[in-house]
Structure 1
Amino acid sequence: MPNSKYAAYEPVKPYFDLVRGALGDLVDGAHFFDIVSDDVVYEVLYDFPGWPRIIRGRADLMARFAGYADNIRIEAADRLIAHKTDDGRVVVIEYEVHGTILATRVKYNNRFASIIRIEDRKIAHWRDYMDSLAAWNALMAPAR
Structure 2
Amino acid sequence: MSGPHELFERMRSHWFGLAEGEAEGEGDLLADDVVLEMPFAPPGTPGRVQGREEVLAFVTPRRAALPARLDGFRLLAVHETADPEVIVVEYELTGVATRTGRRASLPFVGVLRARDGRVALWREYQDTAGIARALGAG
Q: TM-score, normalised by structure 2?
A: 0.69
**AA in 2 matched with 1:116:** L
Give 1:1-144 correspondences, 5 Å limit: 16-17=12-13, 32-48=26-42, 51-66=45-60, 67-71=62-66, 72-86=68-82, 88-141=84-137
CA shift for structure 1 position 131:
2.1
Which is further off, 68-77 or 111-120? Answer: 68-77
Distance 1:95 1:31 in 2: 22
Aligned pairs, how many?
A: 119
CA RMSD of superposed structures (Å): 2.8
Distance change (3 Å), C-alpha of 1:43 and 1:35: same
- Greater RCO, 1 or 2 (C-alpha within 8 Å, sep 6+): 2
Distance 2:15 2:83 in 1: 18
CA shift for structure 1 position 47:
2.6
Distance change (3 Å), C-alpha of 1:121 and 1:77: same
Which is further off, 35-44 or 61-70? Answer: 61-70
Matched-pair contact (CA < 8 Å) for 1:55–1:61: yes
Name 1:12's counterpart in structure 2.
none
Matched-pair contact (CA < 8 Å) for 2:14–2:26: no
**AA in 2 matched with 1:69:** A
Distance change (3 Å), C-alpha of 1:51 and 1:65: same
Q: Structure 1 or 2: larger helix share?
A: 1
Q: TM-score, normalised by structure 1?
A: 0.67
**AA in 2 matched with 1:46:** F
Distance 2:25 2:82 in 1: 24
